[in-house]
């Protein structure tokens, strides 16, 4: 959607928790400063202090910032250097996605106690359709209040909720309710809520689109709603103009979809300084392949296509893929394919980012796997499954290959909701 900063905060009594919620079965629940809040929950001495998750290395970015840090202008996706300049006395912590995933699972269970129609958007937010829950649990606003109370009591975290007739408006409502608030947008007052908002609040309006609309004199959602369709088509194109026109009038027919199959699973890392050493890149691909393997096995998936992503020092990005005969969830196979792809590519420039992704996912149950000539019928997959079991009991760092000992930077990855599990043995060194 549009930039959340464009929506702003503020409480309007017309859209308070006691507003008319008839015809408002859609809830958007958004956890408040989720990663930072989880860190404060397990470190109570940090309460009231500015806390920033992420941004540990010189090229890191902010994953989450407490509201105390946000008062200094620190925001998600901000470069680490900028965040430190704005708030030098903040506590900077590396992300712990294992902890965040566990907290997310607990919160999502609360949502699913209310309704099976839960559509997670990420670890910290979800849409709920409570149409069928009202007979047992009451009106939508009452359900939203109960959810907020349970999250606070059981998880010691806060969330903000938007209650509205549609997903789009509910999402805007939760953003405007932050932090730790609730907004109800009555069905008959959707346009009163929408039209004063800046155009940047609309889904699909990024910085460039907002600049284009501003040049046309369209500053608010109401301005866009009143604009001649021909003018919008000329500025934005047919599809975008039609999409934004519908949203500006509060029309969003999308339903809450409880399950969406993953199409790919991947992980990537950005180096603190550009890298030319093949051995370092090899260790990185090992760590990333393990992350992907762990997620595949945890989700019950296998995948056939392995892709590596390489970003060089001038920000050019190259992808290379190979499709295997059968699907795999074995990190060793993913690593070997990734390394072969890199060996074939071998860019001359220094590398700032590497990534590994597996596509073509299918359920692991029922997927057949053909052994290579001379390959034992028991081996890497069993070893990695044993590692998974040990990690579940003792923690993810219990089994680490020698090549990754002390390489904590190789286990700090981006855009990935799980921490690293590494295989029981090292790959051979590069020739």
The binding site for Mg(2+) comprises: 30, 124
As annotated, the binding site includes 30, 124
**Contact status, residue 337 vs residue 345, Cβ threshold 8 Å:** no
Question: Residue 37, CB half-sphere, CA atoms under 13 Å: how many?
Answer: 18
Residue 61 backbone zone (phi > 0: left; psi -120 to 50: alpha; other: beta): beta
Distance CA 16, CA 181 (A): 9
Distance CA 268, CA 319 (A): 12
248-259 as b/e: b if 16+ CB within 10 A: bebebeeebebe
- Cβ neighbour number for residue 61 with a 10 Å cutoff: 16
Distance CA 87, CA 71 (A): 9
**Contact status, residue 361 vs residue 265, Cβ threshold 8 Å:** yes
The single residue listed with the structure tokens 């919620």 is 21
As given in the structure block, the two tokens for residue 200 are 């940047």
Distance CA 324, CA 154 (A): 45
Distance CA 369, CA 364 (A): 10
**Strands 264-275, 351-363: pairing kind:** antiparallel
Distance CA 140, CA 144 (A): 6
**Contact status, residue 4 vs residue 77, Cβ threshold 8 Å:** no
| Catalytic annotation, residues | 125
Biggest CA–CA distance in the chain, Å, is 73
């Amino acid at each position: 959607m549009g930039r959340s900063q464009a929506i702003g905060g503020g409480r309007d009594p017309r859209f308070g928790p006691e507003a008319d919620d008839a015809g408002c079965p859609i809830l958007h629940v958004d956890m408040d400063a989720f990663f930072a809040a989880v860190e404060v929950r397990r470190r109570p001495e940090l309460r009231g202090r500015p806390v920033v998750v992420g941004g540990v290395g010189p090229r890191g970015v902010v994953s989450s910032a407490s509201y105390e840090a946000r008062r200094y202008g620190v925001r998600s996706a901000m470069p680490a250097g900028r965040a430190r300049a704005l708030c030098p006395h903040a506590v900077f912590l590396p992300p712990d996605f294992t902890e965040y995933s566990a907290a997310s699972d607990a919160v999502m269970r609360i949502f699913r106690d209310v309704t099976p129609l839960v559509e997670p958007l990420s670890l910290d937010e979800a849409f709920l359709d409570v149409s069928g829950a009202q007979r047992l649990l009451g009106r939508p606003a009452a359900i939203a209040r109960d959810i907020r109370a349970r999250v606070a009591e059981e998880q010691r975290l806060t969330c903000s909720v938007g209650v509205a007739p549609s997903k789009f408006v509910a999402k805007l409502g939760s953003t405007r309710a932050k932090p730790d608030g609730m907004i109800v947008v009555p069905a008959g007052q959707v346009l009163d809520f929408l039209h004063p908002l800046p155009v940047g609040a609309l889904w699909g309006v990024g910085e460039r689109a907002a600049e284009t609309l501003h040049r046309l004199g369209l500053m608010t959602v109401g301005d866009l709603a009143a604009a001649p369709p021909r003018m919008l088509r000329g500025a934005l194109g047919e599809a975008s103009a039609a999409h934004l026109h519908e949203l500006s009038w509060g029309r969003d027919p999308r339903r809450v979809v409880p399950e969406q199959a993953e199409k790919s699973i991947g992980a990537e890392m950005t180096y603190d300084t550009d890298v030319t050493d093949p051995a370092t890149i090899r260790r990185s691909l090992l760590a990333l392949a393990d992350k992907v393997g762990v997620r595949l096995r945890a989700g019950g998936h296998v995948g056939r296509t392995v892709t590596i992503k390489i970003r060089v020092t001038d920000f050019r990005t190259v992808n290379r893929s190979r499709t295997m005969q059968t699907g795999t969830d074995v990190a060793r196979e993913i690593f070997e394919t990734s390394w072969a792809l890199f060996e074939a590519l071998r860019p001359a420039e220094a590398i700032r980012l590497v990534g590994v992704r597996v596509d073509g996912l299918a359920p692991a149950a029922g997927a057949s796997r053909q052994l290579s000539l001379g390959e034992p019928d028991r081996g890497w997959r069993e070893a990695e499954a044993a590692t998974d079991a040990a990690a579940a009991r003792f923690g993810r760092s219990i089994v680490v290959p020698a090549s990754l000992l002390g390489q904590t930077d190789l286990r700090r990855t981006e855009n990935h909701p799980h921490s690293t599990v590494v295989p029981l043995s090292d790959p051979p060194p590069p020739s």
